[in-house]
Structure 1
Amino acid sequence: MMEYSYSYSEGYIKNARGMRLFTCRWLPANPRQPIKALVFICHGYAVECSVTMRGTGERLASAGYAVYGMDYEGHGRSDGLRGYVPSIDALVADCDAFFTSVISAAARNNNNNPPNSNSNADPDDCPSPAPLPRFLLGESMGGAVALLLHRSRPSYWSGAVLVAPMCKIADGMKPPRPVIRILEAIATLVPKWKIVPTKDVIDAAYRTAAKRAEIRRNPWCYKGRPRLGTAHQMLAASVRVEKEVLPLVSLPFLVVHGGADAVTDPAVSALLYRTAASEDKTLRLYPGMWHALTSGELQENIDAVFADIVDWLDHRSSSSSPAVSGSTVA
């Protein structure tokens, strides 16, 4: 397996509700290496950033990107009841607050220490460096979070990479419609109850037995049944994204999806590609691949997906590289 060169650090922030949220970052190992862009991870349901998304951080940092992640409320090492999402809007607001604070700090640091500046030059003669491009990378439920972040600030983000985004939960992962109606009726009464009947997400998402075992050993991943309130929030968010957000998406994006995904519907990723207002949009469908494209697939498949992701980011992090849109079945 290839070794990657990067530096890694962890920390905590407090959100507007006084909760401690875990954060982490991956940077290129050489501190003098110019950063191509900032990439912000939006992780999926029941997982976390530091271990589950480590491969993404390692690969992108080694490719020259500064990568930042935050565990949502109720996820990973952050405060909150395990596996409980009381409000998807509050979750999105937490991401927005952390991500924009990092971007503001990076801009201040960039202005105070412009790259390749002449220390003897008159500061007024040295133009301020251009701000670094900023990208969202959302996986599964995090794909819906990324799209909601984009819609809250339509012109703010340089682009997004959407990995098997939760624009619609696959029908096979949902209970029968009559059961959904009953669960919706009682969700506000007992939102924390772990009673939602659904297939094992780990078995459905991760193709390799080794990755399934790793997720089950990870103490920061939630392995119980979905809580009523969480399931209600996720279902409502996916419906909202599918019905209201997809046609309004206007930022450059790459969406990658496995053709054999049994967790989120690849047909809706194709719908996003067709209906989004974005002029710069790219769809990559990988026949036979499962849901967890960046960590749970065969190694050669993971390598192919990351090659597409890094190539897409590289072309949009350099003003000299033209963006190319298109749809491809890998």
Structure 2
Amino acid sequence: MPDGERQHEDAQAAPLNFWGEHPATEAEYYAAHGAEGESSYFTAPGSGRRLFTRAWRPRGGGAAPRALVFMVHGYGNDISWTFQSTATFLAGSGFACYAADLPGHGRSHGLRAFVPDLDSAIADLLAFFRSVRRRVEEEKGHPSLPCFLFGESMGGAICLLIHLRTTTQPEDSWAGAVLVAPMCKISDRIRPPWPLPQILTFVARFAPTLPIVPTADLIEKSVKVPAKRVVAARNPVRYSGRPRLGTVVELLRATDELGGRLDEVTVPFLVVHGSADEVTDPAVSQALYDAAASEDKTIRIYDGMLHSLLFGEPDENIQRVRADILAWLNQRCNSTRGSSSLRIQD
């Protein structure tokens, strides 16, 4: 049987939910992990765009959560499939998590995977995050809580840009950021060679929505476990087409900006990356760690792991990464810390 036909049959045989056939519903899945969740739409006041949002909280709602975690997914991904596994884990560990599908992603409005203005998308996310903060602070028994950013891949870059754009705004103070294989800049190893970026930029002026940029299969390069590749491909709202010209040009612009401002990063952060990642470069995460002005910064490089650290690896690897993230968050909720700098190579 040809590989294409076999992959098609595998996708058809994949479970209806990323966790499998049992439990049958999201509510039961959340409950089995000590969490509860809800979904809704948020209309961003600046752009008028409607974002699909989700919340995951510790089950029961009695005691206040340990902190609020504002999560940002990666390019082509969304918050309703495998991304939920991490949010549910954190909710079951005492954290209230909130996320929105980026414009043009998942169930949010907009042309699929078209992000011509990342600053506008960041403004939409910030409006949603601020609305959550205000609502939580107004709830009885929920005093002001530490707020963390959490981003995967492109979402990691967005988290750093959010930090850089809110450093002078006290209402947007961040207790820290968890950056999972972040796209801090396009590595020279995978950046399109000159003059391709210039050509793409020129053509994008006239046809920004064209999905013509060649790219490798991200699932194949990101997900190590073959059975999990099938599950990832089964995501009903994942964008699987070629990247659009306008999106690629905007990502090049934004990551060039971020790559030139790594020394301005002051937020406490944990960056985790797989040494074998071919989608984003672990050397760039090392450059972030080396250049950042943050007094509290930690980097973990996991030997042999790929891009999808929190879903695509064998379960024992996922548990290691989760444990490191949870320990880092717990430490920053338990005490007021001084400066800390830690690099760990696994």
Give, as a single letter, the amino acid of the residue that structure 2 aligns with 1:5.
Answer: G
Alpha-carbon separation, structure 2, partners of 1:33 and 1:322: 28
CA-atom RMSD, angstroms? 1.8
Is 1:77 the counterpart of 2:107 in the alignment? yes
Q: 1:240 aligns with which of 250, 257, 273?
A: 257
Matched residue, 2:42: 13
User: Percent identity of the aligned residues?
Assistant: 47
Tell me how many residue pairs correspond in the alignment: 312
Alpha-carbon separation, structure 2, partners of 1:233 and 1:322: 37
Residues 33 and 64, structure 1, Cα contact 8 Å, conserved in 2? no
Q: How far apart are residue 169 of structure 1 and its match? A: 2.7
Alpha-carbon separation, structure 2, partners of 1:150 and 1:303: 28
Q: How far apart are residue 320 of structure 1 and its match? A: 6.5
Alpha-carbon separation, structure 1, partners of 2:127 and 2:146: 18
TM-score after normalising by structure 1: 0.90
Q: How does 1:114-125 map to 2 (within 5 A)?
A: 114=141
Give, as a single letter, the amino acid of the residue that structure 1 aligns with 2:182.
Answer: P
Give, as a single letter, the amino acid of the residue that structure 2 aligns with 1:66.
Answer: A
Q: How far apart are residue 243 of structure 1 and its match? A: 0.9
SS at match of 2:260: helix
Give, as a single letter, the amino acid of the residue that structure 2 aligns with 1:142.
Answer: G
Q: How far apart are residue 173 of structure 1 and its match? A: 4.2
Q: How far apart are residue 324 of structure 1 and its match? A: 4.5
After superposition, the C-alpha distances for 1:82-111 in whole angstroms (9 at most, x for unaligned) are 1110211011111111011101111111xx
Matched residue, 1:121: none
Alpha-carbon separation, structure 1, partners of 2:134 and 2:339: 26
Is 1:288 the counterpart of 2:315 in the alignment? no
Alpha-carbon separation, structure 2, partners of 1:312 and 1:172: 30
Residues 46 and 75, structure 1, Cα contact 8 Å, conserved in 2? yes
Q: How does 1:128-207 map to 2 (within 5 A)?
A: 129=143, 131-154=144-167, 156-171=173-188, 173-207=190-224
Residues 173 and 198, structure 1, Cα contact 8 Å, conserved in 2? no
Alpha-carbon separation, structure 2, partners of 1:48 and 1:29: 23
Give, as a single letter, the amino acid of the residue that structure 1 aligns with 2:279.
Answer: V
Q: How far apart are residue 240 of structure 1 and its match? A: 0.9
Give, as a single letter, the amino acid of the residue that structure 1 aligns with 2:207.
Answer: V
Q: Where do 5+ consecutive residues of structure 1 fail to align?
A: 116-128
After superposition, the C-alpha distances for 1:34-83 in whole angstroms (9 at most, x for unaligned) are 31000011110000012131111111001000000100100000000011
